[in-house]
Structures are given as C-alpha cells and as structure tokens.
Structure 1
Amino acid sequence: MDIEHLTRLQFAVTTLYHYLFVPLSISLALSAALLQTSAAVLSRRGAAARADVHGRLALLTGKLLMATFAVGVVTGLVQEFQFGLSWSDFARFYGDVFGPTLAVEGMLAFFLEATFLGLWWFGRDRLPGAVHLATIWVVAVGTTISAFVILAANSFMQNPVAYTIDETTGRARLGSFRDLLLNEVNLAAFPHTMAGAVMAGGALLMAVGVWHLLRGGHEPGSEQFGAFRTLSRFGAWLTLAGGAATAASGDLLGKVITQVQPMKMAAAEALYETTTAAPFSVFAYAPPGSERPTFSLEVPGLLSFLAKGSFTAEVSGMADLQAAYTARFGPGDYTPWVPVAFWSFRLMIGVGMLAAAVALVHLWVTRPGRAIAVDTKLASSVLWSVPVLPLLPLAANSFGWIFTETGRQPWLVLGLYRTSDGVSPGLTAAEVVVSLIAFTLVYGALAWVWTLLVTRLVRRGLPDAPPVQRAATGATGTGEAAGARAGSGFGSDADADDDADVALTY
C-alpha cells in the first residue's frame, strides 16, 4: 500500500470513528431539550407526575450527551491535526477556505456548547427554570449551527464555490463566506445529515428504554416501568421521523449530486453506459476480475427518477463521463472504486430502512392500552438484540460518509485538486503506520471509557431529581424552593455521584 492510500486509510479510520459521536451529540442535545420543554409544559398544566418523569428523562439524556460530547471533542481535534500531519499540501491550498469554517465550528462546538452544557448541568438547582431550560436549547442550536458550518467546508470539496485561485501562490481564496454556506450541496446535505443524526440518537434512547423494560428490574405499572416505556417510544418516534426525513432529504440530495457529481451517481449504480429510463439495481453480482455485474435485480426507471425526477430521464454512464473528464482535465482515471460506491450506497439505504422498521414495530408493540410482556422467551431474545439497535443508524451514517468521500475520488476538491497532490511532502509510510496504530489504540481506549460511562449511567435508571421542577414558578433557588430541592435529592449524595461522572467526562 503506497503512502497516498495509507494516509487515506488513516483519515478514514479517524473520521469514521469521530463521526460515531457527532450524530449522537446532535440528537441527544435536541432530545434533552425536547424532554425538558415537555416537562416544563406539563408542570404548567398541573400534570406534576408526568412532568417529574419527563424532567428525569431529560436529565438522563443529558448525562448521555455529556459523555458523548466529551469523546466527540477529543476525537474531533485529531481531524484538524491531520491536515498538518498528513495533508499539509492540501492544507496550504484549502486553508484560506477551510480556516474560517473551522474557527466558527470550533467556537460553537467547544466554547459555546461546552459552556452552556456546563451551565445546564451545574445550574440545574441554581438557575431559574426558564433560564435553565434556555441553556440546553442553546446547546441544541449550537450543535446544529456547528454541523451546518462544517458541512459547508465539506461541500466545497464536493462542489467548489465562492473562491478564486491566487495565481501567484496557487492557493484557493475565499470570496464570500455567505456563498460558501449557501452552497447547493450544503443546503441539500445538511437536512440529510441532521435527519440521520436524529435517527442515531433516537435509536440509542429506544435501546435504553427497551433494555429497562425487558430486563426484569421494574414491575409493569411502576413509575420506572412507565418512564422507560415513555423513553423507548420517544426514541422510536425520533428514529421513525428521522428515517422519513432522511428518505425525503436523500431524494433531494441525490438529484443535486447528479448535477454536480454525475460520476458519483453513475458509480453508485455501476452504470457504465449512458441510459434512458435507467434502472436501479437492488442487488448485483460481478464475479472476481469482472468490472461489470453479470446478474442484477433491477427496478426499471428508478435510477432516472432518483437522479432527475423522471422515470424516463437520461442518466450519464461512467464511460462517457470518463471521456468527458479526460478531455477536460487531461489523462487519468476519473472513475471511483465502483464496488465501494455501489454497496455503500445500498447499505446506507438498507440499514437505515431496517432501523426505521424496528422503530415502527416497537411503536406498534407498545401502543397505548397494550401490555408489554416481560420475562418471556421473546423478551429475552429481544433483550439480546438491544445493543444492536443504536448501531443501525450509526452504520447507515457511516456508509453514507464512505459513499460521499470515496465517490468523489480521485479528487480532494472536485475538478480543482487531486488526492495524490495533497499528501504531506517527506511523509513516510512508517510514520503513517505508527500514527495509525497510535490513533487506533487511543480511540480504542476512548471507546472503552465511553461504553463504561454510558453503561453505568443506563444501569442506574432514572435520576432521583428532575431538572425542571421549578419551570412553572420560576423559582431562583432560595427559600422554600431550596428546601424542596433538599428533600427531593438536589445536593444529595446521589447527586454527588452524578457530578463525579461529569467530572470524569470533562
């Protein structure tokens, strides 16, 4: 494996690992904000018992968020370091465009989100209810803006806009930050990415709820059982809604990709020849050594509809696109690795649909008025599958990013900068291998710590104290309200254990 492929492998490993935590952080922040808002509304309506449950679920979700956010920040820093470590030539070309996005994203992702997440946690028994609720919404909005800005940087690589090339230095210069953000690829990719994130967090919350429902530790009809039934259904609704939004936004994104990256869409279908009413292959097989499939199960006209909105539209094939790119950019192979593009595209869709289907089944099984059977063989078999539930949307997200990045090859910036030109000069294969092993070991340790923290938080069940007990009254933490908090668990030994967990994540 040459130096280019080694550096690509290293960046792929660290990026995909980092992206396991990004969608979870986005979705858990939104989920905690929604649950806490629900608790505040219920409290104002006089539904104290339900408000208490929703507030405690918000606190549990927030704990999961803090553990996830901490690991996401650490792994995200590595992404920035790698531009200097392995891709310094590309950093010189792209730095003036990428720099502002990294600066804005860094301020939002670390300073704003971390600050208000700390205020939300440590101010839960000190801030007025409305102010405390606002802090978690700031975190949720901050993660959303952060995602939009960093996706704008990636969208430049897919469809370069708002730039000029300095003829003296050969570097890309940013012309308009606004136009960079409003890149048509970014406007299509952002809702698709956010919908996938909602699915990831929803599946995690659904898994937590299902585990508590079926493990036998809570009696049906008890407060804990009802709370985790609520959490499991809330997570399932998020997963199902995220799945529907992913499909709708994916249709829009596919049409944009066809316009700006036709080779990527052709590779996703293994479409070699330009075709009218192009079919979509549900499954295809190519024997070893063969470039083209010898068997394909196809849906007629579906690719044309996905690409251009018409079942009879013409879709360009890779052979014609290769000839056009050769004439435009000079000799070279402009076709991405077709098997990776083909199967990552289908696995993204298939695994995502499976996650949405599981959520739909869970909503049906736990519909109002239906008892949930526990301590049965079926319950035991479902319990064993719980750890897989959160992995389905995460896997779909990962396959989506594999398709996005590998389908752009051989370009780092489409039409402007080739991948082979971006590797740091003087970098040796030994250096890349050693750093890759080091990253893998460190990331493995972080994964173990995150799993330990999350498992510990989940096993504890509902926290003792709701975070929005005073939302309706706007109490400020003095007098009668302070006495009520002392009796309900705020400032207790149980809370001290929670604070210790938070200190560990930070």
Structure 2
Amino acid sequence: MELNVVDLSRLQFAMTAMYHFLFVPLTIGLSILLATMETVYVMTGREIWKRMVKFWGTLFGINFVLGVATGLTMEFQFGMNWAYFSQYVGDVFGAPLAIEGLMAFFLEATFVGLFFFGWDRLTKRQHLAATWAVAFGTNFSALWILIANGWMQHPVGAEFNPDTMRMEVTSFYEVLFNPVAQAKFVHTVSAGYVTAAMFMIGISAWYMLQGRHLQIAKRSMAIASAFGFASALSVVVLGDESGYEANLNQKMKLATIEAMWHTEPAPAAFNVVALPDMETRENIFAIEVPYVMGLIATRSLDTEIPGITELVERSNDRIRQGAIAWNSLQKIRENPAEASEELRETFRQNADSLGYAYLLLPYTDNPMEATTEQVDAAAWSTVPNVWPMFYAFRIMVACGFFFILLTAVFFYYSSAGRLETLIEKRRWILHVAVWSIPLPWIACEMGWFVAEYGRQPWIIESMLPTTVGVSSLSVAEVLLTLVGFVALYSTLLVIEIALMIKYIKIGPEDGEKIAPNPPPSVSAPSPASAVPAE
C-alpha cells in the first residue's frame, strides 16, 4: 500500500488519541469514587475510609500523570499535522480548548497537589474540598474537549466567511449546547465511571481471592458495584441518545454501523450479525431482529432510516451543488472587493454543500468540470468501511450489557451482606471480575473508533474533508514522528502497568493480611474438662 501524508497523519493522531484515552476514563471515574469515599471518611471519622482513599488515590495519581503526559501532544498535533484545519476552524475550535486549559486543567492540576500532599496540612473538610475540586476539574476537562469534538461531528453556531476563508462563530450558545456534544459528554463520562468501577471491583476481587485486605476490599467492592451498576445502566440509556442524535445529524455513520445498504420500510430491522461486502455493496449474510433498529434510532414506528445507497445518491446531488459554491468562491477570491452581490448570493445559497465539492479534488482540479464517474466516486468515498464499523459497535454494546450484569451481581452480594459467599463458595465469579478488568478499555476504544472512523471522510462533518485539512509535510516527517510517538507511548504504557501492578501487590497502607483459608481454631480445654473424672 502506498504511504501518503493524509493516511499517516490520520494514523498518527488516531494512535496518540487512543493511547491517551487508555488513561482518561480511569481518571474521570476514580476522581468521583475518591471524592465519595473521602466524604464517607469525613462524615464517619473511620480511618479505614481514609486508608481506602490513599490507596486508590495512589493508583489515580499514577494514571493521572500518564494521562497528562500523553494528552499534551494531541493539542500540538493540530498545528503540526493539521495546519489548514486549525486555520479553518481556529475561531470556533480554539475557544473550547482554551477554556478547558484555563477552567478545568488548571483547577485539576492545582488541587491534585493538595490531594496528595495536603493530608497533614489541611483540615478534613479542606482536604475533602480539594478532592472534590479534582473530581470537578477532571469532568469539566472532558466537557470542553467533547464540546470541541462534538462540533466536529455536528458543526453549529458558525458559518463560513468567503473573504477570510475561515469558519466564524455566530452563536457561542449553540456551540456550547450542541446536542451532539452534550450527548457525547454524558455518555463518555459515564463510560469513565464504569471503567473505574470495574477496575476497583476487579482489584477488590483479587484481594478477596488472595485473602488479603478483606475489610478494604469489601467496602471498595460495595461502593464500586453500586456506582458501577448505576453508571452501566446510564451508559446504555445515554448511548441510545447518541444513536438518536446520529440518526438526526450523521445518517451515514448510523447506516454503516448497522450495515444497512438499502432503505427499509419503517421500522427498520436490527442486524445482530452480518457479513458486509464493500465490493458487492450487500450483506452476504445477516441475522435480523425486526423493528428494533427503527424504534431505537427514530423512536417511532413510521420514520424511515435511509440506507447507504440512498445516502450516496444524496451526496451525489450535494457534490454537484457544492461545485457551484466552489466556483463562486473562486471568483470571489479573485477580487473580493469587486465581487457582486449576485455572486455572493449564489455562494450563500450553495455554501452548505461547499465541503462536498472538496471531495472531488482527489479526482479533478476543477469540480465544475468533473465527470459523472468522478462525481460517483466522490459520492461513494463518503462511505466508511462497513465491516469494522459494524463489529466495533457490537463489541462495545456487548461489553456494556456484560458490565450491567457483572456490577448487578456484585451489587446484590454487597447489599445483601453476602460477599463471604463469593469467597467461600463462588470464587469463579471473583475470577471473572479479575479477568474483566481490561474490558472497559476495549469498550471505550471501540466507541471512539466508531465515533471518529464513522465520520470519515470528514474532519468536520459535511464541511471539510480530511484530505484538505492536512499540513504540507513529507511522508518521511510524518512517519518518523509516528514511530517516535508509538515507541514513547508504548514505553509509558508499560511503565504505568508496572507501577500499577507494583502498588496493587503492596496493597493499602496498614492493611491486614489474612491467609486465604485459615485453619479452624482449636479452643483450649476448659478447666472442668482438664480435671480427670472420678
């Protein structure tokens, strides 16, 4: 396969983003759990809760540092690898990122120091306030990042200025309260809560299997299972909202997720399993559940979900309309001061489809002169590869329902005071929890893959193709940095896992160590029994 700057730049950003997101969800979730546990400590005064906060806080700190280290690089990549994108949307995209740094990251970074070093310098309530500030800062950070990302998925509150060749904000309120961004935020942070809960449940289960730190493990299990069960349920509900928003604003993404090649009578069926074929543009095999997809995506019985083929036909029309906008834009740029109002009006009427004209640039230098075959090829380029989209989504969903089941089981045993039953009779359930620790990360990565790969070929949905937003770099430059980032991030990941394992093995401070199966105690003989019978 021939290497090119666009694909390598996409791969580089994808690798750094997916490495970074290995650390983010655990940071988001553990911060809330830490604040909750410390609240219990302040309310009850019981030292065991303080030891729990310190132990889980150590793991949080390791993860937090690695998350910051991997996240800083991503913002620099906007300027290094995606220069035209940064210039094109700087007025819109820069504001949420700047606010994230000022409002969220500084808040989080400031108070995380007080959390670790303020135990003997602050009162209980002051330290608790610092812990909650870390939790709020972590979640606010995710909010502003997802507002920026949500705008890329559904650009609102801005319009293109043909004189400056930039997107300019028309309503910051619409950018802030973008429904796609809000749905992504609550769904993403809930996934982070599930990740932290499963992490805590798995480690607590390991301690139970080892017979170590049982008092801390049982309390951690109780709080994590309740928190995780509620969060897992919310992930499913909020994921449904994200699917509904996708049907409204990103119809091609939804169609590829479902491998729906043709529009079906409403309500559409849900493909449980399918074998999509990109060449024949059909499913070789599919197992369907009638009506389910239509009900989920449209929340009605009579609203159709357009299939891939019909959406390509719509793209075909928009490409031709976009070519008119592109032609008008070129004439305006030749002499902006003397551009007639009629010419500008022609551009305004077709401006919403300008991005589709850019899809023709890999095939022709002048979209107005594109052939029918070139327009068709550009229209079909709006379809992501269906196979990975279809199965990545189903892996994520399967994991989500598994988390509901597992957290519900542990919530039942914890609330019923029957965790000893797991230790003595149903140890296999504890083993399942331990081996399930990686699953939330797999689910999160699959979710981001669906969100970002499903938007292709757009870097800004329906406005700017990825091929246009890339910087003028050589293949060698991008390849060198790609290899460097992968090597560096892989090293950091190995370091984090090693540190996590080390401190998990050490266990909580002053934690008791109990033999896995202590021998039954033998009571000393009573004085009476020691006296020989007469």
Q: TM-score, normalized by length of structure 1?
A: 0.84
CA-CA distance at 1:457 after TM superposition: 2.0
Gaps of 5+ in 1: 44-50, 219-223, 466-506
CA-CA distance at 1:294 after TM superposition: 2.1
CA distance in 1, matches of 2:40, 2:117: 21
Q: Secondary structure at the match of 2:420?
A: coil
- Asked if 1:226 is matched to 2:215, the reply is yes
Cα deviation digits, residues 191-231 of structure 1 (max 9, x gap):
11111110011111111111111123x3xxxxx31211111
- Which residue of structure 2 aligns with residue 243 of structure 1? 232
User: 296, 309, 324: which one pairs with 2:314?
Assistant: 324
- Which residue of structure 2 aligns with residue 260 of structure 1? 249
CA distance in 2, matches of 1:151, 1:274: 31
CA distance in 2, matches of 1:258, 1:286: 20
- Which residue of structure 1 aligns with residue 394 of structure 2? 346
- Which residue of structure 2 aligns with residue 176 of structure 1? 171
- Which residue of structure 2 aligns with residue 437 of structure 1? 483
Cα deviation digits, residues 280-319 of structure 1 (max 9, x gap):
1111124695432122111111110111102443111111
Count of residue pairs brought into register by the alignment? 449
CA-CA distance at 1:53 after TM superposition: 1.8
- Which residue of structure 2 aligns with residue 334 of structure 1? 382
- Which residue of structure 2 aligns with residue 38 of structure 1? 40
For residue 483 of structure 2, what is the amino acid of its counterpart?
Answer: I
CA distance in 1, matches of 2:83, 2:435: 38
Q: Work out whether residues 73 and 110 of structure 1, in 8 Å CA contact, stay in contact via their aligned partners in 2.
A: no
Q: Work out whether residues 205 and 431 of structure 2, in 8 Å CA contact, stay in contact via their aligned partners in 1.
A: no
For residue 320 of structure 1, what is the amino acid of its counterpart?
Answer: E
User: 48, 64, 70: which one pairs with 2:65?
Assistant: 70
- Which residue of structure 1 aligns with residue 49 of structure 2? 54
CA distance in 2, matches of 1:411, 1:372: 53
CA distance in 2, matches of 1:93, 1:287: 36
Q: Secondary structure at the match of 1:60?
A: helix
- Asked if 1:371 is matched to 2:420, the reply is yes
- Which residue of structure 1 aligns with residue 156 of structure 2? 161
CA distance in 2, matches of 1:392, 1:243: 13
- Asked if 1:280 is matched to 2:270, the reply is yes
- Which residue of structure 2 aligns with residue 403 of structure 1? 450
User: 182, 205, 214: which one pairs with 1:187?
Assistant: 182
Q: TM-score, normalized by length of structure 2?
A: 0.80
- Asked if 1:25 is matched to 2:27, the reply is yes
- The change in CA–CA distance for 1:232 and 1:369 in structure 2 (over 3 A counts) is closer
For residue 102 of structure 1, what is the amino acid of its counterpart?
Answer: L
CA distance in 2, matches of 1:199, 1:10: 28
Cα deviation digits, residues 303-342 of structure 1 (max 9, x gap):
1011110244311111111111221134312212211221
Q: Secondary structure at the match of 1:315?
A: coil
After TM superposition, the structure 1 = structure 2 runs for residues 110-125 of structure 1, keeping only pairs within 5 Å, are 110-125=105-120
Q: Work out whether residues 218 and 419 of structure 2, in 8 Å CA contact, stay in contact via their aligned partners in 1.
A: no
For residue 259 of structure 2, what is the amino acid of its counterpart?
Answer: A
CA distance in 2, matches of 1:371, 1:326: 64
CA distance in 2, matches of 1:286, 1:338: 7
Q: Secondary structure at the match of 2:88?
A: helix
- Which residue of structure 1 aligns with residue 405 of structure 2? 357
- The change in CA–CA distance for 1:351 and 1:309 in structure 2 (over 3 A counts) is same
Q: Work out whether residues 301 and 312 of structure 1, in 8 Å CA contact, stay in contact via their aligned partners in 2.
A: no
Q: Work out whether residues 213 and 374 of structure 1, in 8 Å CA contact, stay in contact via their aligned partners in 2.
A: yes
- Which residue of structure 1 aligns with residue 467 of structure 2? 420
- Which residue of structure 2 aligns with residue 4 of structure 1? 6
- Asked if 1:305 is matched to 2:307, the reply is no
CA-CA distance at 1:114 after TM superposition: 1.2
CA-CA distance at 1:369 after TM superposition: 3.6
Q: Work out whether residues 392 and 449 of structure 2, in 8 Å CA contact, stay in contact via their aligned partners in 1.
A: yes
CA distance in 2, matches of 1:107, 1:80: 14
Q: Work out whether residues 229 and 411 of structure 2, in 8 Å CA contact, stay in contact via their aligned partners in 1.
A: no
Q: Secondary structure at the match of 1:433?
A: helix
Q: Secondary structure at the match of 1:272?
A: coil
- Which residue of structure 2 aligns with residue 221 of structure 1? none
CA distance in 2, matches of 1:359, 1:373: 14
CA distance in 2, matches of 1:227, 1:301: 47
CA distance in 1, matches of 2:157, 2:236: 29
CA distance in 2, matches of 1:240, 1:56: 24
Cα deviation digits, residues 218-256 of structure 1 (max 9, x gap):
3xxxxx312111112322222221110011111111111
- Asked if 1:457 is matched to 2:459, the reply is no
CA distance in 2, matches of 1:260, 1:84: 28
CA distance in 2, matches of 1:339, 1:373: 40
Q: Work out whether residues 215 and 375 of structure 1, in 8 Å CA contact, stay in contact via their aligned partners in 2.
A: no
Q: Secondary structure at the match of 2:382?
A: coil
CA distance in 2, matches of 1:240, 1:289: 42
CA-CA distance at 1:364 after TM superposition: 4.0
- More deviation in 200-209 or 356-365? 356-365
CA-CA distance at 1:360 after TM superposition: 2.4
- The change in CA–CA distance for 1:312 and 1:109 in structure 2 (over 3 A counts) is same
CA-CA distance at 1:178 after TM superposition: 2.8
Instruction: Please identify the structure whose Cα radius of gyration is greater.
Output: 2
Q: Work out whether residues 109 and 142 of structure 1, in 8 Å CA contact, stay in contact via their aligned partners in 2.
A: yes
Q: Work out whether residues 275 and 387 of structure 2, in 8 Å CA contact, stay in contact via their aligned partners in 1.
A: no
For residue 399 of structure 1, what is the amino acid of its counterpart?
Answer: M
Q: Work out whether residues 6 and 433 of structure 1, in 8 Å CA contact, stay in contact via their aligned partners in 2.
A: yes
After TM superposition, the structure 1 = structure 2 runs for residues 83-232 of structure 1, keeping only pairs within 5 Å, are 83-216=78-211, 218=212, 224-232=213-221
Q: Secondary structure at the match of 1:293?
A: strand
- The change in CA–CA distance for 1:109 and 1:459 in structure 2 (over 3 A counts) is farther
CA distance in 2, matches of 1:312, 1:206: 43
For residue 8 of structure 2, what is the amino acid of its counterpart?
Answer: L
For residue 56 of structure 1, what is the amino acid of its counterpart?
Answer: R
For residue 359 of structure 1, what is the amino acid of its counterpart?
Answer: T
Q: Work out whether residues 105 and 138 of structure 2, in 8 Å CA contact, stay in contact via their aligned partners in 1.
A: no
Higher relative contact order (CA 8 A, sep 6+): 1
CA distance in 2, matches of 1:373, 1:320: 54
- The change in CA–CA distance for 1:109 and 1:447 in structure 2 (over 3 A counts) is farther
CA distance in 2, matches of 1:402, 1:370: 37
- More deviation in 447-456 or 411-420? 447-456
Cα deviation digits, residues 89-129 of structure 1 (max 9, x gap):
11111222111111111234432111101012111111111
CA RMSD of aligned residues (A): 2.0
CA distance in 2, matches of 1:438, 1:313: 49
- Asked if 1:448 is matched to 2:497, the reply is no
Q: Secondary structure at the match of 1:267?
A: helix
- The change in CA–CA distance for 1:352 and 1:38 in structure 2 (over 3 A counts) is same
Cα deviation digits, residues 418-440 of structure 1 (max 9, x gap):
11101111x12222221111111
CA distance in 2, matches of 1:7, 1:165: 25
CA distance in 2, matches of 1:117, 1:258: 40
- Which residue of structure 2 aligns with residue 47 of structure 1? none
